[in-house]
């Protein structure tokens, strides 16, 4: 998908010039510097996702640490036929964050930054890659905004809140089948929006 295309990296060393997939090949062989390059590229979006889901800096750090160490130790499981390294990394982070949320006894898991760290940790717009990310974020947010509220709501609660469809159905006092239908419809619509954005970038 063009939206997730890799932007050229800063830094002049040889590893910096390698594509993610080639770096993963080296990581698989136990190359710590290749792993570091992968971390540099994807830790920002990974941390941001974890923080968005947990709302706590400590929890987000734990999740990112667990996820990247598992990536380091099981690099062999990356299969380039199934998608980009970034998507794979984020899938692992998301899964770990969901686990953490479901393990936690805190009843209200809904978002909220408990530490007000946004300003402090806001990443500056320094590299080409970051500029490309901002552009991508705008496109994805735009696509989400086109969804009917009841669809974006269930996607938010599920993907970022870590709630199961059963929990969401209870929360919204709506049948599970309806909730599942909204999830699917929402994703379909988003996909179509992203496809259009890809064809004609704004």
3-state secondary structure of 12: coil
Complex with other proteins: residue 16 or 83, whichever CB lies closer: 83
Show Cβ contacts of residue 49 under 8 Å, excluding neighbours closer than 6 positions.
Answer: 90, 93, 94, 97
Contact 65, 91 (CB under 8 A): no
CA torsion 157→180→99→123, rounded to 10°? -40
Interface pattern 160-179 for other proteins (x via CB under 8 A)? x-xxxxx-x--------x-x
Give the x-and-dash track for 46-85 against other proteins (CB under 8 A): xxxx-xx----x---x--xx--xx--xxxxxx-----x--
The least CB distance from residue 8 to other proteins, in Å, is 18
Q: Does residue 16 bind other proteins (CB under 8 A)?
A: no
Site for other proteins in 102-161 (CB under 8 A): 117-118, 121-124, 130, 133-134, 136-137, 139-141, 143-144, 155, 158-160
Q: Give whole-number Cα distances, 11 to 25, 37, 128, 132, 133, in Å.
A: 20, 10, 12, 17, 18
Nearer to other proteins, 106 or 176 (CB): 176
């Amino acid at each position: 998908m063009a939206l997730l295309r890799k932007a050229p990296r800063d830094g002049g060393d040889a590893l910096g010039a390698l594509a993610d997939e080639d770096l993963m090949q080296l990581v698989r062989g136990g190359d710590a510097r290749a792993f570091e390059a992968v971390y540099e590229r994807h830790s920002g979006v990974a941390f941001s996702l974890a923080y968005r889901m947990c709302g706590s800096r400590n929890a987000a750090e734990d999740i990112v640490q667990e996820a990247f160490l598992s990536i380091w130790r099981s690099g062999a499981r990356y299969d380039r036929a199934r998608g980009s390294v970034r998507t794979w990394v984020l899938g692992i982070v998301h899964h770990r964050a969901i686990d953490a949320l479901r393990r936690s006894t805190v009843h209200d898991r809904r978002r909220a930054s408990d530490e007000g760290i946004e300003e402090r940790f806001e990443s500056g717009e320094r590299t080409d890659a970051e500029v490309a990310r901002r552009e991508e974020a705008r496109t994805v947010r735009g696509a989400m905004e086109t969804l009917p509220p009841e669809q974006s709501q269930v996607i938010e609660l599920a993907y970022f809140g870590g709630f199961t469809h059963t929990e969401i159905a209870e929360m919204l006092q709506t049948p599970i089948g309806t909730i599942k239908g909204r999830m699917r419809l929402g994703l379909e619509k988003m996909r179509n929006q992203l496809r259009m954005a890809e064809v004609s970038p704004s």
